[in-house]
Amino acid sequence: MQKMKSILMLVLWLTSGAIVAQVGEQRVDAKETGSLDAEREKHAVQVLAKLTEKLIVSAADAMPADKYGFAPTDGEFKGVRTFGQMVKHLSATNYILAASALGEEPPADAGDELGPEAARTKSEILNYVKGSFGYLDKAIEAIGQKNAPVKSSPISPLKSAEATRLALVVESLVHAFDHYGQMVEYLRMNGVVPPASRP
């Protein structure tokens, strides 16, 4: 829970228009300087993305292969995605939003946030999620580049004029953490302690 609070604080810090950074003894207000250092922004998002990838991939790897088809069915859970479908959805969203951040078309197999039908086994889905974070890394690397276009995404609440590389990447990370919480629930329902919660 503490990691989640730290991550949310960092996301808020990254997206705030009134960011104040401590530089030696001098305070620098982003509103006064007019812009932030793209390299610092990029580095902060890279740290967040690596943490997110580590938590998601380790949780996906912790679920036994025979439980990738698991979905709770009682009460409010009726009709939810299976564990494997959820990991593919999270990954497809990474691909779609990263493609928008890069001004590219998303991979055809991302589908309508469903991911490739062909990825069915645990190892195939793990490869897909790892690939999605690799593609997201490419979008992060492009933060600060002025010559590459950014496209709006139909799955993003950001309007065309609001879509920036940083915003689309942060959206992808926030979305991933939403599903990470669900992954943790599914793991615990199957008697698996999430790797991040292990001593």
Mean pLDDT of the chain: 84
CA nearest to 57, candidates 80, 90, 23, 103 = 90
Task: For residue 95, give every residue at least 6 positions away whose Cβ sits within 8 Å of its Cβ, in sequence order, or none.
Answer: 106, 107, 110, 132, 135
Query: Which pLDDT belongs to residue 15?
Result: 44
Buried residues in 133-169 as b, exposed as e (16+ CB within 10 A): bebbbebbebbeeeeeebbebebbebeeeebebbbbb
Q: What's the confidence (pLDDT) of residue 115?
A: 93
The tens digit of pLDDT for each residue in 64-117 reads 999 999 999 888 888 899 999 999 999 999 999 999 999 999 999 998 899 999
Q: What is the pLDDT of residues 29-40, one digit of tens each?
A: 444 444 567 788
Cβ atoms 79, 63 nearer than 8 A: no
